[in-house]
Amino acid sequence: MTLLNWFSQRLKTNQQRQTFALSLLLFPGTFWLLLFFVVPLLIVVLYSFLERGTYGGVDWQFTLEHYARLLNPIYWGVLGRSLLLAANTTLLCLLVGYPMAFFIASRPARWRNTLLLLVIIPFWTNFLVRIYAWIVILRQEGVINTFLESLHLVGEPLDLLFNSTAVTLGLIYGYLPFMILPLYATLERFDFSLLDAAHDLGANDLKTLIRIVLPLTARGIVAGSLLVFIPAVGEFVTPDLLGGAKSIMMGNLVHSQFLAARNWPFGSALSILMMAIVLAPILIYFRIAEQKLNA
Amino acid sequence: MTAIELVNVSKVFLGEQQREVRAVDHVDLAIQTGEFFSLLGSSGCGKTTILRMIAGFELPTEGEVLLNGEPMGDRPPFHRPINTVFQNYALFPHLTVAQNVAFGLEMEGVSKAELHARVLELLALVQLKGFEKRRPHQLSGGQQQRVALARALVKKPQVLLFDEPLGALDLKLRKEMQLELKHMQQQLGITFIYVTHDQEEALTMSDRLAVLSAGQVQQVGTPSEIYEQPNCRFVADFIGESNFLVGQVIEQEAAGIIVLVDGELPIAIPGYTDLPIGKVVTLVIRPEKITAHRQTPTDEAGLLGKIQEIVYLGMNTRLIVQLTAQSQLIVRQQNVKRIISPMFEVGEQIRLRINPDNFQVLLEGTLRTSVQKTSKLRR
Ligand SMILES: Nc1ncnc2c1ncn2[C@@H]1O[C@H](COP(=O)(O)OP(=O)(O)O)[C@@H](O)[C@H]1O
Ligand SMILES: [Mg+2]
């Protein structure tokens, strides 16, 4: 500490001292990001251009073969499905989450924290356990089928598990809170007297929603959608447990390249493809936001 | 013609712990077309709730709101030809000034060309030409107020509601806006219903006003009726400054009655000959309607009193005069001449002259002699 004091006293101007203090505060975070995010990312990029090692790992030989292999339509199919499932999940999370966030934000202040707690409570149980619970619910001798059969509504048990619908259901279930929380954060700051004003000026509920509420909560919608979409594209646990052979996602592919096939460079190339595609909507969003700010 | 009528309207809210709050309590009001009508009352007396029921944001628990004689029932706000200027303006922050004003017209499906013309016309009316492209947060409080006004007026409402619209403005701007609003109302001939807790504002702007307290209407009348003939102690006390003298009718004559104030001071009041002897009444007299005079041996007209306090206020001088053992009178002496040396001294005996016509007689009050007795007992 004395060393720091000595050093900061040697800085002449206030400006210099402030800059020094700021860099001191930012150091841990910057260091963390550099070490555990930027460096691994660079390693992944590097690996994707190297030859595959015989027992995992890499041979230090430059090659583009992994990227060439990505052109195979099989992978584009998986990628397309990942994007579709993630997009569906995001849309459905938005449709379910928006009314919920709106409801919570429009309650009296003393109710809101309790209701938010209810949204967060599932986090207290391990994700794997919660997804596994869906198997218990959806399988042939599971809760739903047993119930339907006991009412003689179905003759044969329904195939509810191991398809894209089950995966989407699991994804929605898993990521709904990530949609609700940012939506709530914007809706909580929303001035509800604007609803009265819109009604007063002749707007019905639908028009009020479209012209006033949605534009003023757009940031929350975008933030929630990104928070759901990005992790959903890369998911591998949910499709692994709830999906069948036809609902493999990019995450599964990457996962299997690293662990089963032991093809690290190809796994890296897949990761980079996925990252590039996920990055696109974010960049577009920031570009639009920037333009709006400048306008 | 009656624009807005409230018939026996009550509103009960469920407050905390399910406790019932009767925000509006059996209110009857009839507001004439083209009138500037104010609802005056202190904070929490139910003004906003009445306004919100007229606009349709709240439905009455009991009673009926009528517009041009037609019951509104549960008709939503967007189907009532009524608009509101909100307390905090409630401008849409993501829209420009022009878009805010245009919003109501777009909802009506007005054509682009007409819309543009009307928006410009209204912005000119509220003196905001050239501000079309600004957003609400780029405007001062007074300018936001004007946008809110233009946004409501553009709908050509039959009735325009104001909820303490000038509350957030500083005094000077408030006075300017008061005049402007009043002029605008006279020009446009729209019925204005104006909520305020500022009595001066209500008196200067209104054609008529209602004084509210605890969800009930205390008195409805023109500003001068409310000021000169308050119908209860609450109104007399709430509007301006009042002196109250409680007494008992002790004599009836052909021309009037004699009221014995505080059991010691007889005061003659013209009229009221139907009041029975023994009836307890409260005499209300405004401080500026009393004149103070120096005692002279020859002139014995007026009530004798002893000065307790003198406060020089520039335009007038405020005297507090002990009239009886229990009652003091506040006197406002207009300083019509320059006062170089004080006219009176504290402790001086003076004569107060009151034209008996200036007394307002209220058929309420409790004699304070009994109160004094009990308080003496307690001591
Ligand atoms: N939505 C509501 N829920 C519960 N109580 C309310 C509600 N709105 C108003 N009140 C209560 O009704 C009373 C009158 O309120 P209001 O009409 O806003 O008064 P004012 O506008 O005269 O200040 C207050 O006691 C207030 O607390
Ligand atoms: Mg109010």
Amino acid (one-letter) located at A2? T
Q: Is the CB of B260 under 6 A from ligand 1?
A: no
Q: How far is the CA of B233 from the centre of ligand 2 (A)?
A: 24
- Which ligand is nearest to the Cα of residue B86, counting in written order? 2
* Domain-embedded: residue A56: no
Q: What is the mean pLDDT of residues A101-120?
A: 92
* Domain-embedded: residue A67: no
Q: Which amino acid residue places its CA nearest to atom 11 of ligand 1?
A: B23
* Domain-embedded: residue A69: no
User: How confident is residue B379, by pLDDT bands cut at 50, 70 and 90?
Assistant: very low
Q: Is the pLDDT of residue A139 over 70?
A: yes
Q: List Cβ neighbours of B143 (8 Å cut-off, separation of 6 or more).
A: B128, B131
Q: Is the pLDDT of residue B370 over 70?
A: no
Please tell me whether residues A248 and A134 are part of one structural domain: yes
* Domain-embedded: residue A70: no
CB-defined contacts A:B, below 8 A: 57
Higher confidence at residue B227 or residue A155?
A: B227
Read off the pLDDT of residues A179-195 as tens digits, 9 standing for 90 and up: 999 999 999 999 999 99
Q: What is the mean pLDDT of residues B355-362?
A: 93
Under DSSP, is residue B321 helix (H, G, I), strand (E, B) or coil? strand
Please tell me whether residues A114 and A253 are part of one structural domain: yes
Angle formed at CA A238 by CA A233 and CA A240, multiple of 5 degrees? 105
Read off the pLDDT of residues B120-137 as tens digits, 9 standing for 90 and up: 999 999 999 999 999 999
Reduced to 3 DSSP states, what percent helix, strand and coil does chain A have, rounded to the nearest 5?
Answer: 80, 5, 20
Please tell me whether residues A135 and A264 are part of one structural domain: yes
- Exposure b/e, B57-69, CB count within 10 A at least 16 = b: bbebeebebbbee
Q: How far is the CA of B57 from the centre of ligand 2 (A)?
A: 14
Report the distance separating Cα B119 and Cα B100, nearest Å: 9
Read off the pLDDT of residues B58-85 as tens digits, 9 standing for 90 and up: 999 999 999 999 999 999 999 999 999 9
Q: Is the CB of B15 under 6 A from ligand 1?
A: yes
Residue of B11, B20, B21 with the most ligand 1 atoms within 8 Å of its CB, for mutation = B21
What's A240's domain CATH number?
Answer: 1.10.3720.10
Domain count, chain A: 2
Domain, as residue range, for A22: 2-47
Beta bridge partners of B259: B249, B267
Please tell me whether residues A176 and A113 are part of one structural domain: yes
Report the distance separating Cα A78 and Cα A84, nearest Å: 10
**Set of chain A residues whose Cβ sits within 8 Å of the Cβ of B51:** none
Q: Which of B90, B93, B94 sits opposite A196 (nearest CB)?
A: B90
Please tell me whether residues A15 and A80 are part of one structural domain: no
What H or E segment, with its residue span, contains residue B306?
strand B303-312
Report the distance separating Cα B264 and Cα B284, nearest Å: 18
Report the distance separating Cα A83 and Cα A281, nearest Å: 12
Nearest to B95 by CA among B105, B84, B81: B105
* Domain-embedded: residue A55: no
User: How confident is residue B376, by pLDDT bands cut at 50, 70 and 90?
Assistant: very low
- Exposure b/e, B34-52, CB count within 10 A at least 16 = b: bbbbbbbbeeebbbbbbbb
CB contact under 8 A, A212 and B92: yes
What H or E segment, with its residue span, contains residue B174?
helix B171-188
Q: Which of A190, A195, A201, A210 to mutate to test the interface with B (most CBs of B within 10 A)?
A: A201
Q: Is the CB of B247 under 6 A from ligand 1?
A: no
Q: Is the CB of B342 under 6 A from ligand 1?
A: no
Please tell me whether residues A139 and A248 are part of one structural domain: yes
Please tell me whether residues A251 and A149 are part of one structural domain: yes
Largest CA distance in chain B: 83
State residue B248's pLDDT score: 93
Read off the pLDDT of residues B184-232 as tens digits, 9 standing for 90 and up: 999 999 999 999 999 999 999 999 999 999 999 999 999 999 999 999 9
Domains and CATH numbers, chain B: 2-236 (3.40.50.300), 241-363 (2.40.50.140)
Report the distance separating Cα B176 and Cα B182, nearest Å: 10
